[in-house]
Amino acid sequence: MVGDDWDRLIRDLIRSGILRSPRVIRAMRIVPRVLFLPESQKPYAAIDTPLPIGEGQTVSAPQG
């Protein structure tokens, strides 16, 4: 499930020291990346890499 994977990614980014701001962590938990992806990319929402969103554009990697 994407939600569980997203929570796991957030925990991993916190554990690795990439995510430190409580405000950013809260925002990522409230507004998951999957909301900004086209249907074809939603299964990959919790992968820490840029993803295509159309028109030659990408959504940034969560660590970015």
Q: Which two tokens mark 61?
A: 């990697």
H/E element, 23: helix 22-30
Active-site residue, selected from the candidate residues 16, 21, 40, 60: 60
Residue 40 CA, distance from chain mean position? 15
Active site residue 16: no
Residue 50: CB atoms within 10 A of its CB come to: 13
Catalytic residue positions, numbered: 60
